[in-house]
Structures are given as structure tokens and as C-alpha cells.
Amino acid sequence: MKIGFIGLGNMGGPMAANLAAAGYEVTGYDPIAPFPKGVTEAKSGKDAARGQDVVITMLPDGTILRAVAGEVIPVMTKGAVLLDCSTVDVQSARDVAALATDAGLEALDAPVSGGVGGATAGTLTFMVGGSEAGFARVAPLLEVMGQKAVHCGPSGNGQAAKICNNMILGVTMIATCEAFALADKLGLDRQAMFDVVSTSSGYSWTMNAYCPAPGIGPKSPADNDYQPGFAAELMLKDLRLAQQAAEAADADTPMGEAARDLYERFVEEENGKGRDFSAMLPRFEGRGRA
Ligand code: NAD
């Protein structure tokens, strides 16, 4: 299987490198990022896409995805697969898939969770929207780049799953951090708080696996001065996408909206940019109700 890979940034670079290391012929394009080992350099997105069996995109947002798709779809071989792994809004994913399908291509949206560490280790989770047949065709590639792939239904459903998951993650992280801050003020030791909550009904991934309190629970970005990890601005991006989708679908999501507003303030007004999303805990620490 010949692969074109467009967008070789923090995530795309290691993903493309893993495919090349697994023996796939990978031709890549990125206007600025360095070319990973084993990936043949193309001079444009079109050059990377022409004649490939599968074209993978890993791009910053829906606007860029639409632009790149508009450029590469016309030069792709009929029957080839366009596999977008970026996190974008549901509507862009569905529009790009329709454009690709009309041009005789197979289209899949397959956003990931697992971050740069997962991309490098080849342990990402893929949430995939598109046809069952398309999913089966790319399964061997997803196996190289990840440890799990879930087919979520038709086009756009991969993005839907991703933003619903991350809306839960953002809300839960805030709840975990504000509970630690309250515990502090009540004189409850953080280790005792962890020991109780991590084995009681308040447990969650944010408490048990990614504890925002330094020195408590398994090692996490809190133990590394809140260096990301998963940066607060990336959480904000996903919470904004969730609200955009909720508005379009007329879904009532008050907690998701509150989480979006809080991360927006944290990133844009409170020096949260570049810090891990669990740095909400030092933000809450010491604050009063005013
Ligand atoms: P990044 O900014 O490091 O990489 C994006 C790359 O796309 C850049 O290298 C940029 O030069 C390139 N690009 C921009 N316009 C292009 C064009 N027209 N043609 C070709 N390349 C172009 O971002 P990233 O961290 O690799 O994230 C990529 C996607 O993965 C985003 O949608 C992000 O939300 C998602 N994601 C990121 C993480 C994470 O932890 N970084 C985790 C899960 C999902």
C-alpha cells in the first residue's frame, strides 16, 4: 500500500515515521515541519497525494483541511482512500467526505486520542467515521499507528466521538481540580483525598491516571511542573468544537459550555497557554469565591 502523508507536525511526523518503519512506502508533505526518517519528501500536497492508495492528513483545523482536500482530491486515484486524522468540526469532516465520495474516493474521519506520546509509541486510539469497507481497508495502517480503532458509524461520527469524549475529559478535570482545592481549604490531606476518591464513586481517569495534584497517584504532568502532556489550549480547541457541534445540533450542554468558558479564560487571560490542562488545580488553589 502506497501512502501520502500531509501534515508532518507534532502528531503527523511520528505517525508517518511509524508507517515508514513498518515498511510502507510513505511520501510526505509539510510546508515547515522537518521530514521524518524514512519518509520521501514531496514538494506539495498534490505531489504527495498523486498515485497513492491512501492519503492521510494530520492538520491543525477544519479550514486548512477543507483547503488541502480541495487541492488533493482532484489528483487522487479513483478508489483511493482519504483518511483524515486531524481533529476538526463535524461539519467540515462531513463536507470533505462528501466531496471525496463524489470524486469516487473512499473517505474516513479518524481523529485520535493519545497525544504526541501515543503518536510516537504507536499506541493511539482512533475513532473512525465512514464506511465499514473503508474502515477495513485502513485497519492495517491504524494497527501500526495505534493500539485501538473503533468504527463509530458514518462520516463525521469519528469527530463526534472525539469531541464528546473530550468534553467529558475537560469537565471532569475541572471537577477534580476544584474538589482538590476545596479539600485543601477543608484541611483534608491530598493523599487521603486521592486514596478515597480513586477507590470511590468520584473516581475518574483524571483522578486515577492523570492526577492533577503533584506527588499524588501515578506520574503525571503535575509532577513535571505542569509541562504538557495535553496543553490547555488543545483542550480549549476541543471544547470549542463541542460547543459548535452542540449549537448546530441544538443539544443542551451546560457543563461543556462552562468548561469551554473556564479554559478560555485560563488560556487567554490567566497564562494557561503552554501549560498542561491539569494546571487548573494551581489556578483554583488559593482562590476564593469572588
Ligand atoms: P502541529 O501544528 O504540530 O501540526 C500540524 C502540521 O500541519 C504543521 O506542521 C503544519 O505545517 C502543517 N500544515 C499546515 N497547513 C498545511 C498545508 N496546507 N499542507 C500541509 N501541511 C500543512 O499540530 P499537531 O499537534 O500535530 O496536531 C495535528 C492535529 O491533531 C490537530 O487537529 C490536533 O487537534 C490533533 N491532535 C493533537 C494532539 C496533540 O497532543 N498534539 C492530540 C490529539 C489530536
- Among 6, 30, 120, which is best to mutate for testing ligand 1, by the most ligand atoms less than 8 A from CB? 30
Take residue 40 and report the three cell numbers written for it: 520521501
82 burial class (0-12, 13-18, 19+ CB within 10 angstroms)?
buried
Q: Give the C-alpha separation, 169 to 167, whole Å.
A: 5
* C-alpha count within 13 angstroms, C-beta hemisphere, residue 7: 21
153 pLDDT more than 90: yes
Summarised one tens digit per residue, pLDDT across range 10-27 is 999 999 999 999 999 999
**CB hemisphere CA count around 213 (13 angstroms):** 22
In sequence order, the 6+-apart residues with CB closer than 8 A to the CB of 131 are: 106, 108, 154
Q: What is the pLDDT of residues 273-290, one digit of tens each?
A: 999 999 999 999 979 998
pLDDT value at residue 64: 98
The model's pLDDT over 160-189, given as tens digits with 9 standing for 90+, comes to 999 999 999 999 999 999 999 999 999 999
95-99 contacts: CB < 8 A, separation 24 or more?
95/66, 96/65, 96/66, 96/69, 97/129, 97/130, 97/155, 97/156, 98/155, 99/69, 99/70, 99/73
pLDDT (mean) for 236-240? 98
Residue 228 CA, closest ligand 1 atom number: 40
Residue with CA closest to ligand 1 atom 8: 9
Residues with CB under 6 A from ligand 1: 6-12, 29-33, 45, 58-60, 64, 68, 86-87, 112, 115-116, 230, 234, 237
pLDDT digits (tens, 9 = 90+) for 93-117: 999 999 999 999 999 999 999 989 8
**Predicted local confidence at residue 188, as pLDDT:** 98
* Cα separation values, 257 from 171, 172, 179, 275, Å: 9, 13, 19, 21
pLDDT at 290: 82
Q: How confident is the model at residue 130 (pLDDT cuts 50, 70, 90)?
A: very high
For residue 286, the model assigns a pLDDT of: 79
- Output the pTM of the full model: 0.95
